[in-house]
Structure 1
C-alpha cells in the first residue's frame, strides 16, 4: 500500500491548528478546534512508488533498521526503504502472505489493507518512552499482520479481518494465518481495514477496523448511495499485548459515517499526541505509540468512495482512547485538488515514531504510494 520530485517555485503549506483547552477539575473537557491555513509554499507530491500500491502501512524492522511497506493486492505486496521518506524499492518476488487462510477464498483472492506490527518478546516493552510504540524492542520478538480476507462463495462479496504471524521471525514473512478470522460480523457486512495501535500511557494494545456495512448496501456510490444507507462504524477492540489477537472485553464503536461522509468512513489509523504541559519532547507523534503522559488521540480516516474524486484523508480528535472523537472543522487534511495535486487520496497510515504519513492516490498505474510530513509543534499539527 523511487522518488520523483518535481521542483516548482510555488509551495503551499497547510497548518492545522488544534486548540485543545485544559481539563476542568469538575466537568468534562470542552475541546475547541480551529484550522489555520497558511498560504505560500509547498510543491505537488510525486509518488514514492510509481506502482499500484493501495492501502499502505509502514513499519521499521527493529533488527536491521530498514523500513518496509505493505499494501493491498491479490496477495499482499511489499516494498523496502532506508527511511520512511524513501527511496522505496518495490519487492516483486516478496510473498509475505502466501495463503490468507482456509476461511478465505484462498491465494489470489482479494487481500486488503495489511497492517504489520512488531510484538516484542517482553510485552512490557509496549509501554516505552522512545515514541516507537509497538515497534520498540530488541528484534527478538515476532511480527503480526492484520488483513482483510475475501470470503469464499457464496459470500465472496464480503471480507473479514484476519491475522497471521511471521513463522520465520522476518518482517517479510512468510506469515501463517490463524485458523479463523478475528472480526467477522457477517450480518453487518463483514469487516475490513484493520489497524493495530499501542496506547502509550497504558501500554495496552488495540485493533481498529471498519464494519463494512456498505457491502450490504442497495447500490450507488460504493454500494451505499441508495436510501436507506447502511452505517460503517469504526470499532476499537482491545487485544492481549502478548499475542495481539486474543480479544479483551467487547469492542467499542468510536466513530461512524455521517451525512457529510457520503457512502462510508473507512481506513482508520490512530496516533497519540502528548500534551506539551507534561514537560515532554514536542513533536511527539507516533503511529501506534508516543511516549506516555496525557495527550490527545487523533483518528485518521477516509470518507466517500475510494474510486471517486471526493475520497480524502480526514481526522477526528479525542481526549480518551474510546472517544468521543470530534471531527475537525475545515475539511479534509488531504483532498483532490489541494496543494499536493493528488486525486482521490486516502488510506492514510502513520509511520511509527517517524512523524511521516503514507497514503495512496490515483496515478497512471492505479493507486500509487505517496507520503507527507506529519509534525506536532506545540498545539499545532502540520501536514506538508
Structure 2
C-alpha cells in the first residue's frame, strides 16, 4: 500500500490527498530475501514516528476546515481507526471511535482493512474499504460507504463494489481524481493470495496466482457508480515482487513544460516479512502502461532503521508521505518529506 501528487478532488473544493493479513511461513528465516534488499540505515531525522500504536495501511485527507484526518486498518475493537492533526506531519491524536461501526450486511463486520476516504462533492464523503465476507471469511471484497462528514457516520452499500471471488476477492482500495481530465477512479488489488497454493504469503508455490492492480473509472459526482470495466495497470513479477503486489495509490505530477507523469505506488513481498516495501511505477496516462522504477524499492527494510514499510499515501503535492512500518505496538504510522526529481521520487531529501 504511496510520492508527489495532485489533489483528490476538483480544485474548487480545495481538498488533497496504503497489506492485508495473508498466510505465510513461520519465522523470518522462512521468507525469501528480495532482490536488492539493503540493510544500510539512512538519516533517521528524515522520517518521523507519527502514531505510536498499531495503525496499519494509513490513508490521509484534509477536510474543508483545514484539519487533517488519517484512517487505518482495524485494530482492537474498531473496524476502521481514525486520527486527526493540524498538519500532515502532526502532532497526531488518535480518536477513540470506530468510524465504520457497520461494515455492511455482506460482511462479517470484522477484519476490515485499508480504508481510503475521499470527498467527492460538498457534503459527500466516500469510504472505500476491504470487507471480510460473512459467508466466505477467507475472502475480502471492496466495499463503499458514504457520509455527510469526514468522521461519519458512514452508511455502507448493501453489496460489494468489487468482488472477483474466483480470482480471490479484492482488497486495498484507493480513490484517484485526475485534475487534468476531470475523471475519477478507484484502484484495488485482486487478491490472488487468497487462492494461492501455499508457501510465502500463500502464493509461494507454483503455479503462482496473479495479484493484479486494477483501475476502475467511477462517476465524478458520486464516486461509486462504475463507468466501463476495470483495467489492469500492474501485476506481480516473480523476481521483483515475490508473491504479490498490493496497496496501490496513484498521483499525477506535472512538469514545468506541461508534460505529466502518473505515479503508481504499491507494496510487494509479504506484509509480515522484512521484504515488504513501498515501490512505484510511472506512466504517461492513468491507465498506463506503467514502467517500474529502475532504482527498485522506494522505502525498504533498513532505510531509516525501518522494518517492513508499506501502505503509503502521499499528500500536499511534492511534500509529505505517510506509511506504516513495524513497531513494538504492531505497525505504526510514520511520515517523511519527499520530492520529485523528474519522474523519480526522492524521500528524505
**Global fold match (TM > 0.5):** yes
From 262, 266, 269, the counterpart of 2:242? 262
- Structure 1 partner of 2:251: 271
Where structure 2 has 5 or more consecutive residues not aligned to the other structure, the ranges are 5-40
Backbone CA RMSD of aligned residues:
1.9
- Determine whether 1:150 maps to 2:132: yes
Aligned residue number for residue 209 of structure 1: 188
Aligned to 2:106: 103
| 1:190-201 matches, cutoff 5 A | 190-201=169-180
Deviation at 1:377, TM superposition (A): 4.9
State whether residues 301 and 347 of structure 1, in contact with CA within 8 Å, keep that contact through their aligned partners in structure 2.
yes
Hey, what does 2:93 align to over in structure 1?
A: 89
Higher RCO (CA < 8 A, seq sep 6+):
2
Shift of 1:330: 1.9
Task: For residue 314 of structure 2, give the secondary structure of its aligned residue in structure 1.
Answer: strand
The match for 2:271 is: 306
Match of 1:251, SS state, is strand
Match for residue 232 of structure 2 among 220, 232, 253: 253
Alpha-carbon deviation of 1:311?
0.1
Q: Which residue of 2 aligns with 1:364?
A: 328
Specify every segment of 5 or more residues in structure 1 that has no aligned partner in the other structure, as ranges: 2-15, 17-38, 121-139, 279-293
Deviation at 1:141, TM superposition (A): 2.7
Give the equivalent residue in structure 1 for 2:49.
Answer: 47
Distance 1:199 1:50, change over 3 A: same
Does the CA contact (< 8 Å) of 1:262 and 1:303 recur in 2? yes
Distance 1:110 1:352, change over 3 A: farther
**Residue 87 of structure 1: SS of its match in structure 2?**
coil
Provide the TM-score with structure 1 as the length reference.
Answer: 0.77
Residue of structure 2 equivalent to 1:80:
84
1:42 deviates by 5.4
Pairing of 1:98-247 with structure 2 (within 5 A): 98-106=101-109, 109-120=110-121, 140-153=122-135, 155-166=136-147, 169-247=148-226
Match of 1:12 in 2: none
Pick the structure with greater CA Rg: 1
Separation in structure 2 between the aligned mates of residue 52 and residue 273 of structure 1, nearest angstrom: 31
* DSSP-derived class of the 1:215 partner: helix
Cα shift at 1:302 = 0.2
Residue 355 of structure 1 deviates from its aligned partner by: 2.2
Asked whether the 8 Å contact 1:45–1:342 carries over to 2, the reply is: no
Question: What do the CA deviations read for 1:319-340 (whole angstroms, capped 9, x no partner)?
Answer: 11111100111221100012x1
Distance 1:204 1:247 in 2: 12
Name the TM-score, length of structure 2 as normaliser: 0.84
Please state how far the C-alpha of 1:374 moved relative to its aligned partner.
2.1
The C-alpha deviation readout for 1:195-250, integer Å capped at 9, x for no partner, is 00001210100000000001111111111111111010000000001110000011
Show the counterpart of 1:297.
Answer: 262
